Amino acid sequence: MTEIATYKNLLTEIIYRYRNCVDFLAIRVEYSEETNITLRGHKIDTLSEGIISGGQVRACYRGGWGFATFNELSTLSQQVEEVVTLARFVGCGATQLASIEPVQVNCQLPLTGTDPRQVPLVQKKVLCDHYNTILLSLSDKITTTSVRYKDNTQHILLATSEGTLIEQSWADLEMRFSATARNGEILQTGRETIGSRQGYEDLIGLEKQIEGAAQRALNALVLPSVKGNNYTVVIDPVLTGLFVHEAFGHLSEADMLYDNPKLLELMSMGRQFGPEILQIFDGAAPQGHRGSYFYDDEGVPSTSTQLIHNGVLVGRLHSRETAGKLNERPTGNARCLNYRYPPLVRMTNTWIERGETPVEDLFMDIREGIYAKNWLGGMTNGEMFTFSAGEAWMIRNGKLAEPIRDVTLSGNVFKTLSSIEAIGDDFYWDESGGCGKGGQSGLAVGCGGPSLRIKEVMVGGEIT
């Protein structure tokens, strides 16, 4: 399967043979080359290169879906027959797929740097060793380190019963670093993640970021814990990107809504969620980001979808099925991690638009507040969220004061959006995202935004 284009005729012939048996039929064939390296302390946990090839078949009949994966193309006809039979067995309603124009195209996301396949495995390992040495050598208080490298070049061929035939390819790279420092019973961790769809060079020259992650862990050992309370909080663009992705973006995915009347009512179009200065978007059309592509895994062209306009909900993210069921337009957000999984409604690049307030003015008039920067982790549960900041400082009388640790930001996403007081004039794209949903973890996404000032945020820490 190294020459995936040679299978176009075969896929077209099989699609033609079975297209009248179901309402919709799609075959997706994939060829991927991947490198994985993981270092834990002084030990090598993973060191591998591999080629992954396979495909999937999806069929829909009267609203019922059949799905199968395969690794041998010789079994394709049999797989299609079984999927068609399954779809016809479970279908008992109506197929509702938003219509699209079929396309026949060959497209490749351009690299501005070196293709990772041109870099020898040993060179990638040397790079990981170099960064790991930085983490380990900074202090004897650093007790645990982790360096992870991954690159994945995917080449995909998609054929559908509507006449779509798309050949698409891209390369994705990512490195993750963590250092845990210990002082008696106190443990603190610093993390850094770098991702790119531009080229291998984006992973070179990260010494300052990596040293900064380890230094944050060391610094936090002696910092005071924040006193738990409600504060006016200023968050940096990295935390803004995490917030808009995790807390709001998932609620915008329409497969979470159409079979959940309560949530659909909550996310009703025209509802005011934030101030008039708030604009939120998602889309794969902006080029050069980790969530960028030309066509999604149903053959829908990439778009940029405005979700919030002047604080009002005006859009959501769709597959063809969710768009059909909600009588809205498809947005090109049906994505699968690889051929082993069916496409789900997934975010791509999600961002809050830049504001007009100078960043230094975000701190004005805050008698006692918190400035939170970077992230350590987080979780969401419906409309509730909790995020941990990588670094934080107290704000006193409009100025940055002493650094603090153990800062967690919690709340209801809708209340938090409505509590945004100002939006900074800065902006940053964070390419470190790996999104998880429906058992498909690590899907590349981009997040972006400016600094935000938000009132009445629940901040966890030491309760007095």
Q: Which helix (H) or strand (E) holds 134?
A: helix 121-137
Distance CA 108, CA 244 (A): 28
Residue 464 pLDDT exceeds 60: no
If asked whether residues 208 and 258 sit together in one domain, one would say no
Residue 48 pLDDT exceeds 90: yes
pLDDT digits (tens, 9 = 90+) for 85-97: 999 999 999 999 9
Q: Token match 């809205």: residue? A: 328
Final residue of a structural domain among 167, 193, 220: 220
Token readout for 171 is 């390369």
CA angle 281, 282, 284 (to 5 degrees): 135
463 φ/ψ angles, rounded to the nearest 5 degrees:
-90, 130
Residue 241 pLDDT exceeds 50: yes
Share above pLDDT 90 across residues of the chain, in percent, rounded to a whole number: 92
Three-state DSSP class for residue 38: strand
Q: Say if residues 7 and 29 touch (Cβ distance below 8 Å).
A: yes
pTM (two decimals): 0.95
* Crossing angle for the helix pair 121-137 and 207-220, to the nearest 10 degrees: 30
Q: What is the CATH number of the domain that holds 22?
A: 3.30.2290.10
If asked whether residues 233 and 216 sit together in one domain, one would say no
Q: Please tell me the predicted confidence (pLDDT) of residue 376.
A: 85
If asked whether residues 282 and 300 sit together in one domain, one would say yes
- Residue predicted with more confidence, 3 or 328: 328
Q: Please tell me the predicted confidence (pLDDT) of residue 3.
A: 66
If asked whether residues 92 and 43 sit together in one domain, one would say yes
pLDDT digits (tens, 9 = 90+) for 100-138: 999 999 999 999 999 999 999 999 999 999 999 999 999
If asked whether residues 207 and 263 sit together in one domain, one would say no
Final residue of a structural domain among 197, 220, 243: 220
If asked whether residues 123 and 169 sit together in one domain, one would say yes
Q: Please tell me the predicted confidence (pLDDT) of residue 377.
A: 81
pLDDT digits (tens, 9 = 90+) for 250-284: 999 999 888 888 889 999 999 999 999 999 999 99
Q: Please tell me the predicted confidence (pLDDT) of residue 414.
A: 94
Which residues span the domain enclosing 13?
A: 4-220
If asked whether residues 188 and 332 sit together in one domain, one would say no
CB count within 10 Å of CB 458 equals 17
pLDDT digits (tens, 9 = 90+) for 398-424: 999 999 999 999 999 999 999 999 999
If asked whether residues 278 and 213 sit together in one domain, one would say no
If asked whether residues 193 and 341 sit together in one domain, one would say no
pLDDT digits (tens, 9 = 90+) for 330-369: 999 999 999 999 999 999 999 999 999 999 999 999 999 9
**Total number of domains in the chain:** 2
pLDDT digits (tens, 9 = 90+) for 167-212: 999 999 999 999 999 999 999 999 999 999 999 999 999 999 999 9
If asked whether residues 125 and 170 sit together in one domain, one would say yes
Distance CA 243, CA 249 (A): 9
Q: Please tell me the predicted confidence (pLDDT) of residue 1.
A: 43
Distance CA 288, CA 294 (A): 11
The residue length of the chain stands at 464
If asked whether residues 334 and 430 sit together in one domain, one would say yes
Helices (H), 396-451: 413-418
Q: Please tell me the predicted confidence (pLDDT) of residue 461.
A: 59
What average pLDDT does the structure give for the chain?
95
If asked whether residues 48 and 91 sit together in one domain, one would say yes
Token readout for 301 is 């062209």
Residue 11 pLDDT exceeds 60: yes
Final residue of a structural domain among 220, 249, 272: 220
Measuring CA to CA, which residue among 123, 57, 60, 114 is closest to residue 92? 60
Q: Please tell me the predicted confidence (pLDDT) of residue 463.
A: 39
Measuring CA to CA, which residue among 228, 240, 229, 238 is closest to residue 416? 240
Three-state DSSP class for residue 411: strand
